[in-house]
Amino acid sequence: MEKIILTGDRPTGKLHLGHYVGSLRRRVELQNSGEYDKIFVMIADAQALTDNADNPEKIRENIIEVALDYLSAGLDPEKTTIFIQSQVPELAELAFYYMNLVSVARVQRNPTVKTEIKMRNFESSVPMGFFCYPVSQASDITAFKATTVPVGEDQAPMIELTREIVNRFNHIYGPTLVEPEILLPDNAACMRLPGTDGKAKMSKSLGNCIYLSDTPKEVKKKVNSMYTDPLHLNIEDPGHLEGNCPFIYLDAFSCDEHFSRFETGYANLQEMKDHYTRGGLGDGTVKKLLYNILEETLAPMRERRKVFEQDIPQVYEILRRGSEEARAVAAKTLDEVRAAMKINYFTDAELINAQAQKYKK
Ligand code: TRP
């Protein structure tokens, strides 16, 4: 069986370091591993509109931001099909059929949807489109027969629902769809990178993000103001690692090799952590190392971004071509789905014959 990846992001803002370690870095690695037959990365504008119906301008502007983030992070349109969800209308059709296979109660139990409804104060009036987005996500995945979906853990309930829909569909209509597997980030720090204020997660509304497109000055300022250990007042005091942002970020970004290259005096992160908890290591030293490591990742991205920013029509052309390619693949799956569901009236000669026989006098 072919190995196929599909994943994506809602274009509601620029991408930040949480997106990077949670999924973007992995996508680039998977792309360059050569192990996958096809890779699709989708800008989920239709999904973003489910809770931004009154703000299409925001979605429109962020499509190009997200595309620039993708390209500067190293997604290569020669190897990865980057496309825009709304430009593949087959996805909406597929979602319409899947809605018959899922109960309202099933979606109501989805923990991610539950949290999002609370966060958006939708409790008394949830838009139908928003409520149904987990079902539409199942069509995003299955339209491309994806075997692997690299996402953060908040997306796990969506993949679970997709697998249920696939099983239900194949059981009723015959084997047609492929059951996907989730691919989660490597460690806890990558799974849930906290904001620079130490709050649960990076989020635009909390203003605690480091963006991939931030300048070195912005990155430095944000790293220097990171939440550490409020009890670590003097360098000699023993420090605590729990909830200590610079150390959590080092968990997500550093490797042993960084420690020799930046001449830290430690062989690895563990030695540095030990010194911190013993006492005698200041936050400033930890932050400086983190800044250097982050800049090593971000500087080449900024360079690539500059080039693409000077040729925006070319970026749209990449998205247009990607969407065209994606549409062809989704259309082929839709043909199979319609045949399995027996709604392929005009291409099913057997059906036409049978009906003709039935009515013939
Ligand atoms: N829900 C995802 C997010 O908020 C975006 C998304 C839409 C997606 N369709 C998808 C992710 C299909 C993976 C697969 O980031």
| Number of the ligand 1 atom closest to the C-alpha atom of 6 | 14
CA of 133 to the centre of ligand 1 (A): 9
Lowest mean pLDDT among 86-90, 117-121, 242-246, 325-329: 117-121
Q: Which residue puts its alpha carbon closest to atom 15 of ligand 1?
A: 9
> pLDDT tens across 29-47, in order?
999 999 999 999 999 999 9
Q: What is the mean pLDDT of the chain?
A: 95
pLDDT digits (tens, 9 = 90+) for 188-204: 888 889 999 998 788 88
Question: In what helix (H) or strand (E) does residue 38 lie, and over which residues does it extend?
Answer: strand 38-43
Write the pLDDT tens digit of every residue in 143-154: 999 999 999 889
Cβ of 151 below 6 Å from ligand 1: yes
Contact criterion met (CB below 8 Å) for 11 and 50: no
In angstroms, the CA 90 to CA 331 distance is 6
The gap from C-alpha 11 to its chain's centroid, in whole angstroms, comes to 10
Does any ligand 1 atom lie closer than 6 A to the CB of residue 44? yes
User: Given ligand 1 and candidates 4, 9, 202, which is best to mutate, with the most ligand atoms within 8 Å of its CB?
Assistant: 9
Angle at 257 between CA 255 and CA 260, to 5 degrees: 125
| 170-228 pLDDT, tens digit each | 999 999 999 999 999 888 888 889 999 998 788 888 899 999 999 999 999 999 999 99
Note whether 239 and 232 are within 8 A (CB): yes
User: Using CA positions, which residue lies closest to atom 3 of ligand 1?
Assistant: 9
158, 160, 203, best to mutate for ligand 1 pocket (most atoms within 8 Å of CB): 158
C-beta of residue 174 within 8 angstroms of C-beta of residue 340? yes
Q: Which domains does the chain have, with CATH numbers?
A: 4-193+312-353 (3.40.50.620), 216-308 (1.10.240.10)
Look at residue 136 in the predicted model and tell me its pLDDT: 98
DSSP class of residue 195? P
C-alpha 103/C-alpha 265 separation (Å) is 58
Q: Establish how many alpha carbons lie within 13 A of residue 192's alpha carbon, considering only the half-sphere containing its beta carbon.
A: 9
Give the whole-angstrom CA distance, residue 44 versus residue 237. Answer: 48
pTM score, whole prediction:
0.94
Regarding the beta carbon of 86 and ligand 1, being less than 6 Å apart is answered no
